[in-house]
Amino acid sequence: MKITTIGIDLAKEVFQIHGVNVHGKVLLRKQLRRSEMAKFFANLEPCLIGMEACGSSHHWARKLCEFGHSVKLMSPQFVKPYVKTNKHDMADAEAICEAVNRPNMRFVPIKNIEQQAILSVHRARQGFVKARTAQANQMRGLLSEFGIVMPQGIRSISNRMPDILEDAENSLPGTMRWLLERLNNHLKELDRQVKELEFQIKLWHKENEASQRLEGIPGIGPITASAIVATVGNAAEFKNGRQLAAWLGLVPKQHSSGGKQTLLGISKRGDTYLRTLLIHGARAVIRFAENKAEPESWLCKLITRRNKNISAVALANKNARIIWALLAKNTTFHLDHTTAASKPAA
């Protein structure tokens, strides 16, 4: 009988395959090495293939789609309930095969090569930013051991370090001056890497029409806009703006029972990087609004009623819904909170 559904447990070298027919009868259980994958599925009749969204899953999804198969990616947390025994590759492949056929399963959009490329630049930038912060904190801590207290901010370290190294009255030994000079050079190199990657992200942003439209939203710049467009992909796959906000973990976590409804803090599900960018952007808007905005505006009223952290999350949630409207309906943002249909390019 014909195989209609296949579950693949991905790995670095050996892949576990589990296939069933339309009645759920197991027709295929085997292992394939990486070099055998393309040949096997190229000669297989088109069917539904399920995989967990993990490392290399988007690559294999694109590859298998080229052979005419219908490929669906799922979050590992949604596959876990279908594992019937102890964890091993065969049980995981069977669980994936069963989960992909569920009518209410939530799937992960397959990213194209360009999306993955720009997101790789984002991940590299994020790594350099963390390393730069760690390096600055280390230098600040070392200086405090010698009674030199530096103000907050990475820029303050870079600006004051030449004076500290040349100051003969601060009692720093020669070994310490040599070390600080090397650490300062490393800090400058990390900062240079961050700026170069940001330049590449901005170039991609200028060439992407959807990313440029998102930049019009207060609190969203080229970094956030490009990350959202590359990660979300087709926003029309979300039913509404609230679904996108929930996907980003910006809605309250619910813990209700017996008819009693309890709402907690935000769920923090989904992409941590996107959620962080949106909340940081919202904080910047709040700082500006405290001095510049109209007292009767929605944001100023919110700030007077809630603390800044809650206000920042609420604004990030609102921006997520606006983002969905702009991407799903191909509209443009205006500061009067209305949208207009985008005009076709001339």
Task: Output the six-digit token pair for 315.
Answer: 């604004």
Q: Look at phi and psi of residue 335 and say left if phi exceeds 0, alpha if psi is from -120 to 50, else beta.
A: alpha
Q: What is the Cα–Cα distance from 149 to 93, expressed in whole angstroms?
A: 56
pLDDT digit string, tens, across residues 249-296: 888 776 666 666 665 667 777 789 999 999 999 999 888 887 775 666
Is the same domain home to 153 and 226? no
Write down the pLDDT at residue 171: 81
263, β-bridge pairs: 254
Task: Flag whether pLDDT at 343 surpasses 60.
Answer: no
Residue 103 lies in a domain: yes
Residue 346 lies in a domain: no
Is the same domain home to 225 and 333? yes
Q: What is the Cα–Cα distance from 34 to 25, expressed in whole angstroms?
A: 26
pLDDT digit string, tens, across residues 97-138: 999 999 889 898 899 999 999 999 999 999 999 999 999 999
> What is the number of structural domains in the chain?
3
The CA–CA distances, whole Å, from 260 to 254, 255, 257, 263, 296 equal: 11, 9, 5, 10, 35
The CA R_g of the chain, rounded to the nearest whole Å, is 25
Q: Which region among 48-52, 285-289, 324-328 has the lowest average model confidence (pLDDT)?
A: 285-289
Residue 52 lies in a domain: yes
Is the same domain home to 184 and 126? yes
Residue 48 lies in a domain: yes
Residue 230 lies in a domain: yes
Is the same domain home to 157 and 252? no
Q: Which region among 72-76, 187-191, 248-252 has the lowest average model confidence (pLDDT)?
A: 248-252
Residue 212 lies in a domain: no
Give the CATH number of the domain where residue 88 resides.
3.30.420.140
Task: Output the six-digit token pair for 14.
Answer: 């050996």
Is the same domain home to 23 and 57? yes
Residue 64 lies in a domain: yes
- Kindly indicate the confidence band of residue 321, based on its pLDDT and cuts at 50, 70 and 90: very high
Is the same domain home to 232 and 336? yes
Mean pLDDT of the chain: 88
Is the same domain home to 312 and 262? yes
Task: Output the six-digit token pair for 17.
Answer: 């395959």
**Which DSSP state fits 80?**
G
Write down the pLDDT at residue 265: 67
Segment (H or E) for 197:
helix 174-207
Q: How far is CA 199 from the centre of its chain?
A: 19
Q: Where are the beta strands (DSSP E) in the chain?
A: 5-9, 14-20, 26-33, 48-52, 70-74, 107-108, 252-254, 263-266, 331-333, 339-341
Q: Which region among 34-38, 272-276, 341-345 has the lowest average model confidence (pLDDT)?
A: 341-345
Write down the pLDDT at residue 346: 35
Is the same domain home to 58 and 161? no
Could you tell me if 191 and 158 are in contact, meaning their C-beta atoms sit under 8 angstroms apart?
yes
DSSP 3-state helix, strand, coil percentages of the chain (rounded to 5)? 55, 15, 30
Task: Flag whether pLDDT at 345 surpasses 80.
Answer: no
Is the same domain home to 151 and 200? yes
Residue at which a domain ends, from 90, 108, 126: 108
Is the same domain home to 64 and 164? no
Write down the pLDDT at residue 255: 63
Is the same domain home to 200 and 229? no
Residue at which a domain ends, from 188, 207, 226: 207
Q: What is the Cα–Cα distance from 263 to 337, expressed in whole angstroms?
A: 28
Residue 130 lies in a domain: yes
Task: Flag whether pLDDT at 48 surpasses 70.
Answer: yes
Is the same domain home to 61 and 168? no
pLDDT digit string, tens, across residues 147-185: 888 888 888 898 899 888 888 888 889 899 999 999 999
Could you tell me if 111 and 230 are in contact, meaning their C-beta atoms sit under 8 angstroms apart?
yes
What pTM was estimated for this model as a whole? 0.84
Could you tell me if 100 and 50 are in contact, meaning their C-beta atoms sit under 8 angstroms apart?
yes
Domain range holding 47?
5-108
Residue at which a domain ends, from 173, 207, 241: 207
